[in-house]
Amino acid sequence: MTAPARPPGAASARSAGKSPEASTAFPAAPEPALSAAAAPAPAARVIALLAGRGETVAVAESLTAGLIGAALTAPPGASAAFTGGVLSYATELKRRLLGVPSDLLEREGAVHPGVAAAMAAGVRELTGATYGLAATGVAGPDPQDGKPVGTVHLAVSGPAGRVWHRDLHLNGTREEIRRCTANEAVDLLRAALEPSPEEHSG
């Protein structure tokens, strides 16, 4: 019997330079284990780092519509570090709730690195969190603002005006792109908390 080539949540992230986690089925087990998309380990690490420092995070989500917040609140004790979030699915809410500049939205559309950075800064200011984490992109099935399906921009806004970026070009179904985006967003926050030379900040 041939296994599926790509399980749900396993969209490829070319610019991220790594393979997202994939779920494994064990038919003989009486109860299936959590899928990798739901596995709390990466998010638990982030929550532990934040809670240990007395810091917090808030999220601003567009294409993921709550998946990032769900991932970050899966670990026990998440309330010590997660303050909340904004689901700014509509472009107008990005401007009105998160303070994304109107001229930027008019010039570039909602899918742009600058929009992700503004969303992250906006939700950080709105909630008073130490860090703001944002995602904007195109999950499909159609392009948006001239950007192809799979174009995703992530940003973390932190203390002293620091911003961490990650730009993705994902392949897969709509659901796979959304799940991969959530995984990558959690990983970007981890990278901001545990800096490495590979991660861009400004």
In a domain, 173, yes or no: yes
Structure token digits, residue 64: 């993921």
In a domain, 114, yes or no: yes
In a domain, 3, yes or no: no
8-to-21, 42, 159, 180, 184 alpha-carbon distances in Å = 10, 18, 35, 10, 15
**Tens of pLDDT along 147-176?**
999 999 999 999 999 999 999 999 999 999
In a domain, 198, yes or no: no
In a domain, 115, yes or no: yes
In a domain, 174, yes or no: yes
Distance, CA of 157 to CA of 49 (rounded, Å): 16
pTM: 0.80
Overall residue count recorded for the chain in this entry: 202
- Print the domain residue range for 72: 42-193
Domain count, the chain: 1
Q: In this predicted structure, what is the pLDDT of residue 197?
A: 52
Q: For residues 31 and 42, which has the higher predicted lDDT (pLDDT)?
A: 42
Q: Is the pLDDT of residue 97 over 80?
A: yes
In a domain, 178, yes or no: yes
**pLDDT band at 25; cut points 50, 70, 90:** very low
- Angle, alpha carbons 69-73-75 (nearest 5°): 145
Q: For residues 119 and 35, which has the higher predicted lDDT (pLDDT)?
A: 119
The residues that bridge with 86 in the sheet, in sequence order, are 60
Q: Is the pLDDT of residue 86 over 90?
A: yes
Task: Please name the residues in contact with 46: beta carbons below 8 A apart, sequence gap of 6 or more.
Answer: 57, 72, 81, 186, 189, 190, 193
**pLDDT band at 130; cut points 50, 70, 90:** very high
Q: 199: exposed, middle or buried (C-beta count within 10 Å: 0-12, 13-18, 19+)?
A: middle
In a domain, 23, yes or no: no
The backbone torsions φ and ψ at residue 187, rounded to the nearest 5 degrees and listed phi first, read -70, -35
Q: In this predicted structure, what is the pLDDT of residue 78?
A: 97
Q: In this predicted structure, what is the pLDDT of residue 195?
A: 75
Cis amide prior to 141 (ω within 30 degrees): yes
The domain that contains 161 carries what CATH number? 3.90.950.20
